[in-house]
Every structure is written in C-alpha cells, then in structure tokens.
Amino acid sequence: MKEFDYSLVKNPEYFKDGRMEAHSDHITYANVEEASTGETSYRHSLNGIWKFHYARNYGNTIKGFEREDYSCKDWDDIRVPAHIQMEGYDAPQYANVQYPWEGHEDIHPGEIPEHFNPVASYVKYFTVPEQMKGKRLFISFQGAESGIALWLNGQFVGYSEDSFTPSEFELTDYVKEGENKLAAQVFKWTASSWCEDQDFYRFSGIYREVYLYTVPDVHVYDLQIRAIPDESLNKARFEVKTSTWGKGNVHIVLSKKGQTILEENKSLGENAASTGSDRNGKDTATEAAGRTVQKGVADTFSWTVENPILWSAEDPQLYDLVMEVFDENGILQEVIPQKVGFRRFEMKDGIMTLNGKRIVFKGVNRHEFSSITGRCVSEAELRKDLTIMKQNNINAIRTCHYPDASLIYQLCDEFGIYMIDETNLESHGSWDTAEFTKDYTYVVPHDKPEWQSMMLDRANSMYQRDKNHPAILIWSCGNESFGGKDIFEMSQLFRNADPTRLVHYEGVCHDRRYNATSDMESQMYPSVEAIKEFLAKDASKPFICCEYTHAMGNSCGAMHKYTDLTDTEPKYQGGFIWDYIDQSIYKKDRYGKEFQAYGGDFGERPTDYNFSGNGIAYGGNRDASPKMQEVKFNYQNITAQVSADSVNVINKNLFVNTDTFECRVTLQKDGNVIRTEVLDTAVAPLSQMEYALPFKKEEKAGEYTVTVSFHLKEDMPWAKAGHEVAFGQYVYQVEAAVKPCTEHLEVIHSTHNIGVRGAEFEVLFSVLNGGLASYKYAGKEMIEAIPKPNFWRAPTDNDCGNLMAMRYGQWKLASMYVNHKDYRGAAYGPGNAPKVEEKEHSVKVSYTYFLPTIPAAECTLAYEVFGDGRVRTTLSYDPVKELGDMPEFGVIFKFNADYDHVSWYGLGEAETYADRKKGAKLGIYDNMVKDNVARYMVPQECGAKEEVRWAKITDRKGRGMLFEMDKENGPMMFSALPYTPHEMENAMHPYELPQIHYTVVRVAKGQMGIAGDDSWGARTQEEYLLDTSKPMEFSFVFKGV
C-alpha cells in the first residue's frame, strides 16, 4: 500500500499523485427533469461541518490520524468550504510582493518553511448515498490551498497542488459499506507556494466546495465545444469533441429560444481499441508517481450552422446544447446541458478583433474576495459584482491572478463580459529579489526544467476546465513572474490546444528572450505618453494595459486620458483597472464595533498594510465606491456631443444600434428640470449622426443644462428597463442684470471688535483674535470657530505613495498655525489689525495672515458684508516660489454638527475632483454630511464637490448657511464633512476618527487632482495642479438661511 511522503511536498516536481485528469466543467444529470432543475443525483455535497485539527507545522500534526481505528470525533468542528484563517485558526496575512515567510525563515525557491507552516487536518465521516452505491465513486475538491493529501479508510488516495483548479480522485477501490472515514491534510505552504505569491491575503484550507460524484456506465468525461464562424460570419463550424468512458450513443440537439437548429444521433466510444483504454475508460498508462490516470475515448462531431447569431459582451446571444447519452441498449445514461456562444476572436493585421471588429477592453482586474469568507465567494456576492460591472459599462474581467470558481465563467457567458482567464502563477517575490541582487537564478519558474511540468499542469488544468466558455477570449500564463522558457512553453500549450483564442503574458516586457510568449504587448501602469512612444517604435503587436489606473483609496484621476487613447491609437486596445474590490475583512475593534480590517490588523508580519485596498468597489457590502462614477462614463459605448440645439451621437458599440436604447433629452434651468423629451436615434455601430434637439435654445435669463442620455428599453439580467448606459451634457447661460444690494447696515467700531448689523443678521470681527468671530442669522449663532485660510487636504493613498506630505508639508503647517500675528514680532498684543473699508452699502474687513513657512509667506482674507446678510469672502495670496504647489486654496469653516444636511448645485452625485469629474452631471443634489465620508479603508481626502454654483448646510428645521459662487470667479470647490483634514489624516482606520462634533465646510478655488496612474510614485498631472506661478485670488459668498 502506497504511503504519503511529506518530504516530497518541498519538491516542485511532486505536485500530483493519483489525481484525475483535468476535464471540462460540464455537469451531468440522470435525466431531463433533473437538468431542468439544476440538481443532479450524480453529485453528493460534502460541504458542511468536518472534524478538524490545527498544527503550526508538520511536526506538530497527529501522526496516524487517518487510520480507521483512530477516532477523530472529539476534534474541533470546522466549516467546509472555508479558509482556516477565517475560522479562528492561524491569522489572515496580507502581503503583496514579499513572501509571507521572509525574515522568519531563510529558505530558497522550492524549500518550505519548517518552523511555522500550518497544517490543517480534516476528517469527514460519511456513508455513501443509496443512489451511488455499486458505482464508481469520485471526490472533487474544487479548491484547496495550497497542497492536499487524501486518505480514505486509512489508505492513501493521492496528493495535489494548485490552489485554484479542481483536485479530483477516484475512491472506488477504497470505499466500503457503512461509515467511511475521509481524511485530508492541507498544507499552507508547499514548493508550489513560490509560484502563488499573488497580491492577496495568504489563506489556506479547503475553501471551495467538496462533493462526491459518480458516473453512469457510459459517461462523457470531457467535453470540448467550438462554435467558430468563418470569415464571412454567415456560417459557422460547430464542433463537439467528447472523451467518453464506455460505449453508446448520443442524441445532440442545438436550439435557440426553443427553435431547433440541428438534431442528430451519434455513436460514442467506437475507437476504444486504439486509445490504450479498457472499455470502462481506465487508462493502462501510469504517471511517474505510479498512480493510475483516467482518460476517455475521443470522438469528434461537427456541423455547419448557417447565419449564426453571434455572441458578444454587447449582445450575449447563447444557444442551448443538450446531449442525451445512451448505452448500447438504448437506456438513458446522462443528460448534459451546455450553453454555446458563436463568436470569432482573432488577430487581424496586428489588431485583436471580435466577429470582425476591433475590440476595446474596458476591463477590470478582479480578485475573488469576500470580507466575510475570504476567497470563498458566495453566488449572491458574485452576482452583485457582475451586476455592478455591467451597470457601469465594464465589459471585461481579468481573473487576477488565478482561475476563479467555475460559476463566474457561466455568468460572464450569460451577462456578456469578456474574460482573460489567468493561470495560477505569480512569483513576484523571487523576481523582486533577483532585481535587487541581479542574480536571476533565484527567479522561478524562469528556465528551470524542474518547474516546467508544474507550470504546464496548471495551464492545462485551467484550459481543460474552462475551455467551453465563449466569454473567455484570452488565456493568460500568469502574472509578474519575469520571463523564461517555462512560461513560453505554457503559452505554446495554450496555442496548441486552442487556436481559437489568443495568449497573454505581461512579464515578457521585462525579459524579451521569449517575446513570442504573449500575442499582445501587455504592460502595467505605463503613462499615456509611454504607450504612444512604445507604439511609435514598435507596433508589431496590439497593446493593452493588463493593469492601469491604480484605484487605491481616493484615486482614478485622469483615467480618461487612457480611454481617450483607444479612439486615436488603433493598436491600443484598452486595459484592466487595478482592481475591482477592496480586500478587507470584517473585524471588531476593542469596543465590539465592526470595521474593515486590512494588512497588519491581525498582528501578522510581514505585511503590506492597506495596499490590499485598491478597489473601485468597497469591501464589506461590495457597493460601488465614488470612483465608479468616472469608470462608467469613461467606459460608456455611446458619446453624446451636446450643444444648445443639437447632439452628435457617436456609437462606439461594435454590434448594437442606438435604437436599442431610449434616448432622453432633459433641459434644466438653474438645476431644476423643466422639460424632458424622447429623441429617436438610429446610429449604426461604429458610426455617428447629428440630431436636432426637440426644443430650441432658451432666451430667458438663467443657466441651462441640456442632458442627452441613453437608457435600456428592456430588462436585462443586470439592470431594469430605464437604466442609464451613457450621457452627455452641455451648459449655457443667458445673462441677467445683477441688482446691487441697497439694504441698510450699521457698523460698530470698538477696541477689540468690529460689529456689522443688518435687519436679520449680525457679524462680529475680532481684532484681538484675528478673524470673523461671529455670524448670527435670525438671532442664532452660526459659526463655531473663526474661519481660516486652508491649504491642506488629508493625504490620499496616492499622495502617500508619491510623498506629497513630505514635499508639501509646509502647507499643512500653514493651515494649522496660520495667524494674524507676525511670529517675527512680539507675541503679545492685538497683532495685525484688520483693514476696514466702509462703502455706501457694504463694509469690507480684511485680515493679513502670516504663514509659518520657510521662507515666510502671507495671505489676505477679506470679508465684504452687505445689508442683506451676504458676506463676499476673498482669499488672496502672492506666491513664494520656493514653496511650490499647494494641495488646496480656500477657506475652512466649523459649524455645529446639527447642521448635518447638505445640498448643492454642482457636479454630482458622487465626489468629484479636478482630474476625476468627467462622469459627473451638473445638477442639484443632497445628502447627509456624514455620507460624504467615503468608506476608504484608511481615512483620507474625500467628499469634494467640483464646479459648485451654490451649496447649503442646514439642520432639521432647514436653518443653516448658504454658500454661493462669486460670479466673477465662477464655480467653486465645496466640501462638507464631519471632520477636519487633520483629523482625517491622523486616523489609520475609520473607527479612529473622533466623535462627530462639527460640520466642517471647506470652500475653495480648487484642489489638486487626486492622480492614480499608480499609487507608489505617480504624481498629480501638471494640468490638475493649482497654478501657483502667479498671484492667486478666490471669492465666494455666504449667507444665513
């Protein structure tokens, strides 16, 4: 009897032993009725409670626990599927590039940690279900991380590595009547862990579903479907290739919406004698490890389908294939339903095309991740992700950096989402070490022959499982593993197995020896200019960004420059945002309140802290973050170029006419809707057409906004009819004469204060304290502190990455310690007295403030008070060259937290910034002040509103303060949050923010853009910086309401 040898776990050439051959993910049913319900009697789930023992290393495991006579029934209970780290054993550990054992054990590629390398021992007692007795019995582990050894009734069944594809074993020879004891050991780190260094949490355990399955006497073990139109697209070759155990016949029906396209009976298993298999399909060959493998008898059937309706993300048309398998006596053995998509994906003249049209990937990288269960993602969570993606015009997913659980492929077929399916390979830590040491022998797999078989096995396992999904256009060899012969051979495996798709691998841009590994040039985080420069020199391949627009925290600035490039550079065919969802985990603080934890919050080291939070969707409830607004606009397939009386509609869809959507034209006056009409459009794919608007340009005074938007006419799996898919806006003004304020006001001069009083208000300017000390409206004090100039924002993750705080730190000091007293003079005394200018209908009080900078700087804050209670506020600054750029230029106010409601007329509804506002609409919006705090994992700048005409904070009775743009200055930036920038900056988690005491309002000329080309050095692009090369001035008006 073969025994398991743990020493082999550190051998990269030992990665499967007794494991079944990889096969397609089709599901077999006993009859048509079962198939219609989706519940098969050929499977029996083992999900649920298992018995469990945890050991911190192999030396601490219980030897012999797998024996039949060793009772494990008093062991702990654990849920399966689940990561053991999410069940209270070991700790979740987040690491990006560095290997998780670095600094703890000195090991080299292929070796494994010995001191700390958790081993999870599982036991499941089960009885074979009645319907499975007497049949061949198998077990499928859909995902076990990172190596699993299996025993049944004390006998070693097999071993498998590859955390992200199924590990299946035959149990027939080991199963018995009555109770069976299934035992498994799952090792956190094996030799293959050197190739599983993805940017994610390091988990282990049986984390995908586990089930027993049996098969009938005649069984299609593997199924390959190809539905490829010819170049004319008018006819297609439909091919079904089966690998069958046993001999019989199959009844094949292909239909579309109930209409039969083809129907035919075929023989199965006729070539059994030439395959080296016996009649039961058991191969007579053996693997090097000495375990029998399973192969079937191959049959290929093909037909020609006339005028196929083609599949695409825009119109995911699927056919229904049903295969009924009979034995030689005509007895039904199994029913196999399968969705089929006809589509032709190829390289033509150096450009990737789908069904003859140049494709643009409007993509996102997506880790499988749940804040509740780690990489064990529920169907509800997955459906929510895909629904939000489709609602926001995302048309492609890269499964970073491993194959996902099977359901996502089925849903992408149905929803219409293109996929890059990526092999489970990343050895970034070994490559990074080599970059430091210049010793590239450290890199795995590189050119090392001892790693090649493992790499080919992983590629083959992914290919075999996923090959029948039309959503998959590209196979990827992995991620960030440098280059070399081993990865090139993986690419060749894909090409030889599947000429209907292309092959991707980014790492060859760092190692050009095997440049043919990738069919396209793929790079990470190049600037737009770098892409242009590269294609100007080498346009031999199309170019994609497999990662771009790093969405860490408040990010995605200037994304539109990349998406605009797809319109002007044919060889640039889009990219994949990094990434879709924050990798955060629910945890409780010391007071029992849940928060979203990130790297380091579990006491684990080494870690890369909050670098796990790069999503355009939040962790936790998986809602879209404010960044999604920009993504939706930049990825929309219809451009509406709107003027006052016409719209030029550019249809960027490859296959869908705009008459598929309802086009609505909305006219707003000063933010209020006054007319809405439907406009009939019929713009063919990749065409444009101009239409007159259904109403003429207005002549009455006011600001008018014309919005042309496109909406679904019918319900889709991902949205209801009426959902907006694209929009464009145009704004114009009809000027009106401004009436001057002539209401009376009174000025009161005293030693320490200057008072200004009108009919409903009273203002107090402090000479002693240097600023606006009081603003009363209708007898109620409005402000809680003297407003001050503000030049700072709470640094974003991108700011931290590009060292903004180090470069601009003096502006933080200036904001915190700005004073009307000149620190170069005496500290005692009233300081610099304000300048007072009394006019006929106003009074202007101006303060000079000194900034604690080197060299010293000054600014002026002036308040001009009118008789109706309006206060025109002007901030002026003469730049000091040595101080350079500033994050923000404006004024900060503090109000009582009772003023907790905010409304504004400006861009919305999500936060906007100078370099992230393309996706916002001009309109009137409102929310609660606290809801402007975005749920980024680390508190940082958030909630800003660009191009604001007016904004208002109010209490529950509607009392508060109105802020208006000064017409000479134009729209302003506005922010209303419960915290100051400094309070936000001081907190590393949201729970560290103080209790809410104030509503903090910032009104500004502007704020520097938030950037996002990457999060580790890329700065805000120059055109989105505040211009400090010339005198700066900004005015706005506030008034009580």
Q: Which residue has the tokens 């508190």?
A: 939
Q: What pLDDT does 273 receive?
A: 41
Edge-to-edge strand ranges of the sheet holding 319-327 = 259-268, 248-256, 319-327, 332-340
Q: Give the mean model confidence (pLDDT) for residues 638-667.
A: 98
How would you label 579-592 residue by residue, b for 16+ Cβ within 10 Å and e otherwise?
bbbbbbbebeeeee
pLDDT surpasses 90 at 285: no
Taking every pair of C-alpha atoms in the chain, what is the biggest distance, in angstroms? Answer: 111
Taking the C-alpha atoms of residue 985 and residue 260, their distance in angstroms, rounded to an integer, is 64
Taking the C-alpha atoms of residue 386 and residue 626, their distance in angstroms, rounded to an integer, is 17
pLDDT surpasses 60 at 1029: yes
- Taking the alpha carbons of 936, 939, 940, 944 in that order, is the dihedral positive or negative? positive
Pairing label, strands 771-777, 780-781: antiparallel
Taking the C-alpha atoms of residue 680 and residue 849, their distance in angstroms, rounded to an integer, is 58
Q: Which DSSP symbol is given to 495?
A: H
Q: What pLDDT does 288 receive?
A: 33
Q: Give the mean model confidence (pLDDT) for residues 847-867.
A: 96
Q: What pLDDT does 566 receive?
A: 99
Task: With cut-offs at 50, 70 and 90, classify the pLDDT of residue 659.
Answer: very high
pLDDT surpasses 70 at 291: no
Q: What pLDDT does 793 receive?
A: 99
Q: What percent of the chain has pLDDT over 70?
A: 97
Say if CB 724 and CB 711 are below 8 A apart. yes
Q: What pLDDT does 780 receive?
A: 96
Taking the C-alpha atoms of residue 1029 and residue 1019, their distance in angstroms, rounded to an integer, is 18
Top pLDDT among 907 and 433 is at 907
Q: What is the CA radius of gyration of the chain?
A: 33
- Taking the alpha carbons of 287, 290, 291, 295 in that order, is the dihedral positive or negative? positive
Say if CB 352 and CB 502 are below 8 A apart. yes
- With a CB cutoff of 8 Å and minimum separation 6, the contacts of 515 are 508
Helix, coil or strand: residue 790: strand
Helices and strands (H and E) in the chain: how many: 12, 63
Q: What pLDDT does 828 receive?
A: 58
List phi, psi (to 5°) of 492.
-70, -35
Q: Give the mean model confidence (pLDDT) for residues 914-941.
A: 99
Q: What pLDDT does 264 receive?
A: 98
Taking the C-alpha atoms of residue 840 and residue 866, their distance in angstroms, rounded to an integer, is 10
CA distance readout (Å), 687 to 91, 281, 338, 690, 708: 55, 55, 35, 11, 17
Q: What pLDDT does 831 receive?
A: 63
CA distance readout (Å), 871 to 331, 756, 862, 901: 89, 11, 10, 22
Helix (H) or strand (E) holding 127: strand 119-127
pLDDT surpasses 70 at 935: yes
pLDDT tens digit string along 828-852? 555 678 999 999 899 999 999 999 9
Q: Is 284 exposed, middle or buried (0-12, 13-18, 19+ CB in 10 A)?
A: exposed
Q: Is 1011 exposed, middle or buried (0-12, 13-18, 19+ CB in 10 A)?
A: buried
Helical segments of 595-694, H only: 627-634
pLDDT tens digit string along 602-635? 999 999 999 999 999 999 999 999 999 999 999 9
The amino acid at residue 423 is: T
Q: What percent of the chain has pLDDT over 90?
A: 93
Taking the C-alpha atoms of residue 596 and residue 522, their distance in angstroms, rounded to an integer, is 33
Q: Give the mean model confidence (pLDDT) for residues 749-776.
A: 96
Helix, coil or strand: residue 730: strand
Taking the C-alpha atoms of residue 1025 and residue 1005, their distance in angstroms, rounded to an integer, is 12
- With a CB cutoff of 8 Å and minimum separation 6, the contacts of 1024 are 557, 558, 913, 914, 915, 1008, 1009, 1011
pLDDT surpasses 50 at 802: yes
pLDDT surpasses 90 at 267: yes
Q: What pLDDT does 294 receive?
A: 58
For residue 460, give the nearest of 293, 271, 220, 230 by alpha carbon. Answer: 293
pLDDT tens digit string along 147-164? 999 999 999 999 999 999
pLDDT surpasses 80 at 279: no
Taking the C-alpha atoms of residue 479 and residue 424, their distance in angstroms, rounded to an integer, is 8
Say if CB 960 and CB 784 are below 8 A apart. no
Helix axes 560-568, 627-634, angle to 10 degrees: 10
Residue 117 in tokens: 């390398």
For residue 873, give the nearest of 799, 968, 742 by alpha carbon. Answer: 968
Say if CB 1008 and CB 1024 are below 8 A apart. yes
Residue 1018 in tokens: 């890329």
**Ordered structural domains, the chain, with CATH:** 1-229+234-343 (2.60.120.260), 346-428+444-632 (3.20.20.80), 637-734 (2.60.40.10), 746-1040 (2.70.98.10)
Q: What pLDDT does 825 receive?
A: 67
Mean pLDDT of the chain: 96
Helix, coil or strand: residue 227: strand
Say if CB 524 and CB 506 are below 8 A apart. yes
pLDDT surpasses 80 at 398: yes
Edge-to-edge strand ranges of the sheet holding 235-245 = 219-229, 235-245, 297-306
Q: How far apart are the first and last CA of the chain?
A: 87
Q: What pLDDT does 435 receive?
A: 86
Taking the C-alpha atoms of residue 673 and residue 203, their distance in angstroms, rounded to an integer, is 52
pLDDT tens digit string along 573-601? 999 999 999 999 999 999 999 999 999 99
Q: Give the mean model confidence (pLDDT) for residues 19-42.
A: 98
Q: Give the mean model confidence (pLDDT) for residues 380-404.
A: 99
Q: What pLDDT does 284 receive?
A: 33
Q: Give the mean model confidence (pLDDT) for residues 240-262.
A: 98
Pairing label, strands 167-170, 93-95: unpaired
Q: Is 547 a catalytic residue?
A: yes
Question: Beta partners for 244?
Answer: 220, 297
Taking the C-alpha atoms of residue 424 and residue 650, their distance in angstroms, rounded to an integer, is 40
Say if CB 913 and CB 946 are below 8 A apart. yes
Q: What pLDDT does 337 receive?
A: 99
Task: With cut-offs at 50, 70 and 90, classify the pLDDT of residue 826.
Answer: low
pLDDT surpasses 70 at 274: no
Q: What pLDDT does 740 receive?
A: 86
Which member of 547, 662, 941, 983 is catalytic?
Answer: 547
The amino acid at residue 775 is: Y
Taking the C-alpha atoms of residue 1013 and residue 1024, their distance in angstroms, rounded to an integer, is 13
String of DSSP letters for 388-445: HHHHTT--EEE-TTSPPPTHHHHHHHHHT-EEEEE-S-B-HHHHHHHHHH--GGG-SS
Instruction: Tell me whether the omega of the peptide bond preceding residue 717 falls within 30 degrees of 0, making it cis.
Output: no
pLDDT tens digit string along 728-739? 999 999 998 888
pLDDT surpasses 60 at 278: no
Say if CB 85 and CB 143 are below 8 A apart. no
Q: What pLDDT does 272 receive?
A: 52
Q: Give the mean model confidence (pLDDT) for residues 431-450.
A: 91
Q: Give the mean model confidence (pLDDT) for residues 47-72.
A: 98
Looking at 753-912, which runs of residues are DSSP E strands? 753-757, 761-766, 771-777, 780-781, 788-790, 835-838, 842-851, 857-866, 871-877, 888-896, 901-908
For residue 75, give the nearest of 37, 124, 146 by alpha carbon. Answer: 124
Q: Which DSSP symbol is given to 896?
A: E
Q: Is 837 a catalytic residue?
A: no
Q: What pLDDT does 281 receive?
A: 35
pLDDT tens digit string along 191-202? 999 999 999 999
List phi, psi (to 5°) of 576.
-130, 115
Which member of 381, 422, 480, 947 is catalytic?
Answer: 480
CB atoms within 10 A of CB 603: 9
Top pLDDT among 736 and 923 is at 923
pLDDT surpasses 80 at 401: yes
pLDDT surpasses 50 at 867: yes
- With a CB cutoff of 8 Å and minimum separation 6, the contacts of 85 are 91, 92, 93, 201, 203, 204, 205, 374
Q: What pLDDT does 286 receive?
A: 34
